[in-house]
Homo-oligomer: A and B are copies of this chain.
Amino acid sequence: MRAKILLVEDDASLIELVTYNLEKEGFDVVRTGDGEEALTLAEEEKPDLVILDWMIANLSGIEVCRRLRRAPATANLPIVMLTARGDEADRIRGLETGADDYMTKPFSPRELIARIRAVLRRLRPALSGGQLEFAGIAMDTTAHRVMRDGRTVQLGPTEFRLLRHFLEHPGRVFSREQLLDAVWGRDVYVEQRTVDVHIRRLRKAVNAGPTGDELPDLIRTVRSAGYSLDATPAVQAA
């Protein structure tokens, strides 16, 4: 899966330079030079990361950063700030406002790429690593292959994306609505209960043991909240 980057910048030559380098590295790039528009695009395009210049039209980069953090839909979006202002105070302010990294112009495109990859490696392992692993489940995202304790697991496309989402955020509980957003896509209309059915299909595939017996269920149902990938068995004897 290609990662999508939202580039918020109004210097034409920089746009060109950065876009060229990002695309060469296999990223999809969405651009704007306008602060207000950046907020809209962040919601609608669902980028995997934002590169944000401090000096842009309509809203300062720092204000965009603050609003992105405040809106629930984008609160977790990784942000790399980019600016001509090299003051220590500015850098600290940027980082404390919620930016994940901060680079000062002039900068090396290769270092920018390296820093973006470092951030994505953390936030969306599937985007840069290719290998995800949790409690005996291993997924190779590039080869589209899943193994449980060494045995290959056969999954349909939707179950694959569902599992990948869980593997990217192990332990965390997602509501049906959140799962529909993240796995099916924002503007798809399907019944919430459809999630249940795919959870069941995923469980069936992942928990199937070698001789028909059941392996421990790693998908936890949290009543009235959703589901999570979880190693701890629901019931603890003793």
Question: Which residues of chain A have a CB within 8 Å of any CB of chain B?
Answer: 88, 91-92, 95-96, 98-101, 108, 110-111, 114-115, 117-118, 121-123, 140, 142-145, 151-152, 154, 156-157, 171-173, 210-211, 222-225, 228, 230, 232, 234-236, 238
Contacts and interface: CB of A to CB of B under 8 A. Distances in A.
Contacts of A108: 88, 92
Nearest to A123: B122
A236 B151 contact: yes
B238 A144 contact: no
A63 B231 CA distance: 32
A122 B95 contact: no
B92 A223 contact: no
Contacts of A111: 88, 91-92, 95
B143 A118 contact: no
Contact of A118 (B95, B223, B230): B95
20 contacts: A91-B114, A92-B108, A92-B110, A95-B114, A95-B115, A98-B121, A100-B122, A101-B118, A122-B122, A122-B123, A140-B171, A143-B172, A143-B228, A144-B225, A144-B228, A145-B171, A152-B236, A154-B235, A210-B238, A211-B238
Nearest to A225: B144
B114 A96 contact: yes
B152 A232 contact: yes
Q: Nearest 4 pairs between A and B by C-beta?
A: A95-B114, A157-B224, A92-B114, A144-B173
Contacts of A122: 100, 122-123
A86 to B, nearest CB: 11
A223 B173 contact: no
Given A88-B110, A151-B236, 15 more contacts: A88-B111, A96-B114, A98-B121, A101-B101, A101-B115, A101-B118, A122-B123, A140-B171, A143-B171, A144-B173, A144-B228, A145-B171, A156-B223, A157-B223, A211-B238
Contact of A144 (B95, B96, B154, B222): B222
A160 to B, nearest CB: 8
A182 to B, nearest CB: 15
Contacts of A172: 142-143
